[in-house]
Amino acid sequence: MSFEGKAVIVTGGGSGMGKASALSFAERGANVLVADISGDSAEKTVEEITAAGGKAYAHTFDLRDRDQVVGMIAAGVEQLGGLDVLANVGAISANQSVEEMTLEFWENMQTTNLRGNMLGMQAAIPHLRERNGSIVNVASGAAFYAVPGLAAYSASKAGLIAMGRVLAQENAPYIRVNAVLPGPTKSAMSDGVKSTAAVAAKRAAVGQTIGRWLDPSEIADVVVWVSSDAARAVNGALFRVDGGHHML
């Protein structure tokens, strides 16, 4: 899969699945805007890309801020000379039961994971349409299975899936929009989710499938593939990358 000369924006590119995706796109020849709320993390990803001979730029932004999201897309288009792929990987996760949930907690989750990605896609559409581009939304298997404490997170990811499928219909045949649904994956975000008996039991169940947590690079492999010409006939699709976790 070659992305030689292609322009790619990866949100959440400073760590985890976002970083793995940015590195993988760059390895295949793409020019990448690495966008993250942590400027230092984004810069470190860029340093790795440039050290390997690739071309990348770092951009600091907050998914919760409309102007920053729109500005991130504009900066990417300007620095990259256009846009071929938008990979929405940036997100937050935390637990809080519905009974105890505060409005602030709920709104922060939806504003970051759902509204922020909507604004990014909205701003990117005109540029992607010019090049028959692609959007990949990294959602979560949690959109389909219940984990106590993750109601707000699951709702935000289910919303992202639904919105992406509508977007695929609205912009066909000029822009492909697909979703990748990771299962339990090693990352700073998953490490930060408060452990409860229910969450611990769900994580332990990974041993009943492929027997291990996934590596971010394994998610990135699918993000990159579905963005490539090899997947040119794929649109509005959901890809579970969870080692069979959804079968439990």
The one-letter amino acid code at 89 reads V
- Specify whether 57 is catalytic: no
CA–CA dist 87, 224 (Å, integer): 9
DSSP assignment of 120-178 equals HHHHHHHHHHHTT-EEEEE--GGGTS--TT-HHHHHHHHHHHHHHHHHHHHHTTT-EEE
* Closest listed residue to residue 120, CA positions, set 76, 180, 179: 76
* Closest listed residue to residue 36, CA positions, set 46, 28, 27: 46
Task: With beta carbons less than 8 A apart as the criterion, state whether 149 and 97 touch.
Answer: yes
What are 31's two structure tokens? 């020019």
The one-letter amino acid code at 58 reads A
DSSP assignment of 66-95 equals HHHHHHHHHHHHHHHTS-SEEEE-------
DSSP 34: E
What are 156's two structure tokens? 């935000």
Count CB neighbours of 74 within 10 A: 13
Task: With beta carbons less than 8 A apart as the criterion, state whether 238 and 178 touch.
Answer: yes
Which position among 57, 145, 153, 174 bears the catalytic label? 153
What are 104's two structure tokens? 């602030």
For the annotated catalytic residues, the residue numbers are 153
